Amino acid sequence: MRAAKAPVGRGSLPLVAGLLALGLVALGALAVHDALAVSGAVDRDPVTTGVLDALDGLAHDAPVVLGAGIAAAVLGLLLLPVALGRRPRTSVDLDAATGVHLRTGDLERVVAGAVEGTDSVTDVSVRATRRKVAVHVTSLAPRAQRDEVVRRTRERVDPVLAALASPPRTSVTVRHEELR
């Protein structure tokens, strides 16, 4: 069985596509308005007539044409990396021959589930990226036992992260609650 490809995020391309789509919708609305104006269904002058009258007689070597051409070329060059750029990876690879992947949000839930049963831990919060997992625990243990809480937490987190192809760095922070 061939390994599956790693899932990737959307990147910037949908934003550019959305802006271009809005521009095309605006041009379509303008065309419908002008068609209705020409047919007499709307009591207004077509908008494109005024634009075409302003451009009538404009020479091909006019500074306005040169400026518009340069602006279009620069805009195209700026959009080229967006269109051809790599999309961000959104998952971590499990150590498996079949290409199993785990999203970072799911990794957060798995790590939090592994830590929840730790002695004296009352609350767990996990933030994970592809390179780092930050575990924040709230503990009822006295401050003097902070190192013990960190050790027990790492004992539960490390086997989970060992299942990944390249385990991320781990940091554990402890917040102590006082019993009243």
Q: Is the pTM of this model over 0.85?
A: no
- Please, are residues 173 and 136 in contact by the beta-carbon 8 Å criterion? yes
The C-alpha atoms of residue 168 and residue 161 are separated, in whole angstroms, by: 7
Can you give the pLDDT at residue 136?
Answer: 96
In angstroms, the Cα distances linking 170 to 58, 78, 180 are 65, 38, 32
Considering the segment(s) 92-176 as one domain, its CATH architecture is 2-Layer Sandwich (3.30)
The one-letter amino acid at 69: G
Can you give the pLDDT at residue 147?
Answer: 92
Mean pLDDT by 10 residues, the chain (180 residues): 64 78 89 88 83 78 83 87 77 79 90 90 92 94 90 93 91 85
Which ranges in the chain are annotated with CATH 3.30.70?
92-176
Can you give the pLDDT at residue 128?
Answer: 93
